[in-house]
Amino acid sequence: MSGDMNGIWVFAEQRGGELHEVSLELLGKARELADEAGKKVTAILLGHDIRSLSQLLLNHGADSVLVGDDPRLKTYRLIPYARVMASLVHTYDPEILLMGATYMGVELAPRVAAKVRTGLSAHCIDLRLGEKGQLLQVVPGWGGGVIATIACPDHRPQMATVMPGIMKALSAIEREDTVKEIEIDLPEKGLGPEVLEVKREKPDQLPLEKAEVVVAGGWGIGSQEDWKMIESLAELFGGSVGATRPPVDEGWAEEGQMIGQSGKTVRPKLYIGIGISGVMHHVVGMDQSEHIITINSDPDAEIFDTSDVIVVEDFRKVVPKLIDEIRARLKK
């Protein structure tokens, strides 16, 4: 049995019984890599009372699920999670282990990699197979202006974290496969910090990574009042509002709306960038969008290099009229 579970692993991240989207996205990529390499995909699911999630993982591309269900794993704690992951790796010896570059994954993956003394690459934007089953991990560096390909030739598993929103989840197919419960063996003490409180709020807009249309604003918007124009335009499309760093610093937008190297990566059908200069830090978070329209009064704005359609004009003149025009067309 374990012979089928030493292929490509995906850490299925859940909080409060809710699966993080990136887990399904990673399964999609893992499935593609596994089919190419003739390997199996195994999802690792840790928590408490979470067995029902295994079906979802199977339906989205896993051949098997290893479930660690234990009250001590109910709320994420780094030390117990890292111990369990490392002992699973030792037992099954997987080729590849993929995790989401989420708040949890960014903390957990390096700890696991250090425990099993293997290599880990961070925030991958692409994964490919190279010679001899090597996982080629494509990562941005230097604010995204440089793309490096990383390999881990002599250590296993080959570990990588991937930003949410980059890989595509497969559409669900009802499948029956293996779900295997694992024994959780943890000591009484030495499990690190205890969790006192977890507070999560439902975001009030569609997650940026999921929006079909993203309207993003930059420093050029100039004021909280004009920022409302950005929000109105996004609302018209049922889209989400994104931002560069300055609007977040100014308080016009929330931290979670930031697009770029230190924020979200978006690949919407349409990205509209307004008053954005186009520094590399932002561009790497949006350059994979299907269509890119940008509006900036500065004819030399760098963002134009990454645009399909360019408008050199004061957005205060263009956007209100565009809102009216779109509204009129929607009414037809």
Partner 1 sequence: MERIIVCLKPVPDPKQWDEVSMDPETQTLIREGIASVINPLDKHAIEAALSIQGVLGGEVVLLSMAPPSAASTLREGLAMGADRAVLLSDRMFAGSDTLATAHVLAAGCRWLGDNDLIICGNMSIDGSTAQVGSQLAELLDLPNIMHVIDLDLGEDGSMVVTRKIEHGFARLRGALPLVISVRKELNKPRYTSFTGILAAESKEIKVLSNEDLKISPEVIGIDGSPTKMAGIELRRFERAREKLDGSVDEIVESLAGRIYQYGII
Q: Which two tokens stand for residue 193?
A: 């910090």
- CA within 13 Å, CB half, 22: 26
Strands 96-100 and 120-124: unpaired
Q: Which of 114, 175, 180, 224 lies at the binding interface for partner 1 (CB under 8 A)?
A: 114
Binding mask 59-98 for partner 1 (x = CB under 8 A): -------------------xx--x----------------
Question: Residue 186 interacts with partner 1 (CB under 8 A)?
Answer: no
Instruction: Select from 184, 249, 192 the least CA-distant residue to 218.
Output: 249
Shortest distance, CB of residue 108 to partner 1, whole angstroms? 8
By CB under 8 A, residue 321 contacts partner 1: yes
User: What single-letter DSSP state applies at residue 210?
Assistant: G
Element spanning 54, H or E:
helix 53-59
Residue 173 lies near partner 1 (rule: CB under 8 A):
no
Contact track, partner 1, 21-60, x by CB under 8 A: ----------------------------------------
- 3 state DSSP class of 225: helix
Interface with partner 1, residue 151, by CB under 8 A: yes
Give the separation between CA 211 and CA 319, rounded to whole angstroms: 20
Query: Is position 265 annotated in a ligand binding site?
Result: no
Q: Any binding-site annotation on 51?
A: no
| Nearest one of 247, 244, 291, 245 to 267, comparing CA atoms | 291
Is residue 109 close enough to count as binding partner 1 by CB under 8 A?
yes
Site membership for partner 1, residue 133 (CB under 8 A): no
- Binding to partner 1 (CB under 8 A): which residues in 224-283? 237, 256, 261-262, 269-270, 280, 283
